[in-house]
């Protein structure tokens, strides 16, 4: 019991201070959405770089690698949201102190203060473009079917023969580029790990991913909002560490004074 009390005494405890609650939706919060969009684009670029590894033929390895990539994206969003939430809470504490001292707090500064829903608003604005693209594609997506591969170059020498040329004519047919094809590339690039989880040859699984793409693209940005909610608790731990360091400093100063007083007392006794 005493050991637990001692450990608790030497461990920083959160110290919550009042802060001024800002607004959930503002131009500043919407502007921060560019960072969420930029991080989403960065993840898509990383998927391209490591795409050959993520498409492993080993099912277990493919699951582990792709789930790891999804977890990494969520972790980075969560970390960025936590950092921004702590900064906003710190500013909100300053704004509350100004308000308590009788000073006015302009609306522009209130927009910088913490609000529990601000992180989700920022994430939603940031991912809105991708969400609209995914939603549009989900509404028009069709299940893909098997497509003929390319013919080897040596076959072209026989195309001039009528019997063989007619049999190979289907290979020469080309389909025009459609909006669905363009949207498919964008959506599947953003959701590359989920595409790999379904399997490139699993047409039913890919069709399910296409239909669920508007929801899947919201997973990582949602962690930005969840991380933002940690702002007050992270700020409270900062105050807790400051108070703990102050207590340690005062305790060391007190012990130093006691040692000096004890040394002076011993010196007088010797005299």
Instruction: Give the pLDDT of residue 166.
Output: 53
**CB within 8 Å of 128: residues ≥ 6 apart:** 33
Give phi and psi for 139, each to the nearest 5: -75, -25
222 or 267, which is more confident?
A: 222
- 3-62 tens-digit pLDDT: 555 555 667 788 888 999 999 999 999 999 999 999 999 999 998 888 777 787 788 888
CB 127 within 8 A of CB 37: yes
- Distance of CA 218 to CAs 37, 157, 221, 262, Å? 11, 51, 6, 66
Q: Which candidate, 190, 74, 213, places its Cα nearest to that of 134?
A: 213
Rounded distance between C-alpha atoms, residue 38 and residue 127, angstroms? 10
CB atoms within 10 A of CB 128: 15
Place of tokens 């080309």: 174
Instruction: Give the pLDDT of residue 133.
Output: 96
Burial of 87 (0-12, 13-18, 19+ CB in 10 A): middle
- State whether the Cα torsion 58-60-62-65 is positive or negative: negative
User: Which tokens go with 242?
Assistant: 């400051």
Q: Phi/psi class of residue 97: alpha, beta or left (left: φ > 0; alpha: ψ in -120 to 50)? A: alpha
Rounded distance between C-alpha atoms, residue 70 and residue 191, angstroms? 9
Give phi and psi for 217, each to the nearest 5: -75, -10
Residue 118 has pLDDT above 90, yes or no: yes
- State whether the Cα torsion 172-179-137-198 is positive or negative: positive
- 245-260 tens-digit pLDDT: 777 767 777 776 767 7
DSSP per-residue codes, 17-53: -------SS-HHHHHTHHHHHHHHHHHHHHHHHTHHH
Mean pLDDT of 215-227: 96
Rounded distance between C-alpha atoms, residue 88 and residue 158, angstroms? 71
């Amino acid at each position: 019991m005493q050991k637990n009390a001692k450990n608790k005494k030497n461990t920083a405890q959160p110290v919550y201070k009042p802060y001024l609650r800002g607004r959930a939706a503002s131009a500043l919060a919407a502007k921060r959405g560019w960072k969420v969009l930029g991080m989403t684009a960065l993840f898509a670029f990383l998927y391209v770089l490591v795409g050959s590894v993520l498409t492993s033929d080993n099912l277990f390895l493919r699951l582990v690698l792709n789930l790891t990539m999804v977890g990494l994206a969520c972790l980075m969003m969560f970390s960025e949201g936590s950092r921004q939430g702590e900064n906003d809470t710190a500013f909100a504490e300053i704004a509350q102190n100004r308000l308590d001292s009788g000073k006015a707090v302009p609306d522009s500064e209130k927009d910088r203060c913490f609000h529990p829903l601000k992180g989700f608003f920022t994430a939603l604005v940031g991912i809105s473009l991708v969400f609209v693209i995914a939603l549009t594609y989900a509404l028009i997506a069709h299940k893909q079917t098997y497509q003929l591969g390319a013919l080897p170059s040596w076959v072209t020498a026989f195309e001039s023969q009528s019997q063989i040329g007619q049999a190979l004519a289907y290979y020469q047919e080309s389909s025009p580029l459609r909006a669905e094809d363009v949207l498919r590339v964008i959506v599947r690039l953003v959701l590359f790990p989920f595409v790999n989880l379904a399997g490139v040859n699993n047409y039913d699984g890919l069709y399910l991913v296409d239909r669920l793409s508007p929801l899947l693209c919201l997973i990582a940005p949602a962690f930005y909002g969840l991380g933002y909610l940690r702002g007050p608790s992270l700020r409270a731990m900062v105050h807790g560490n400051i108070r703990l360091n102050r207590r340690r400093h005062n305790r060391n100063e007190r012990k130093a004074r006691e040692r000096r007083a004890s040394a002076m007392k011993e010196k007088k006794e010797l005299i």
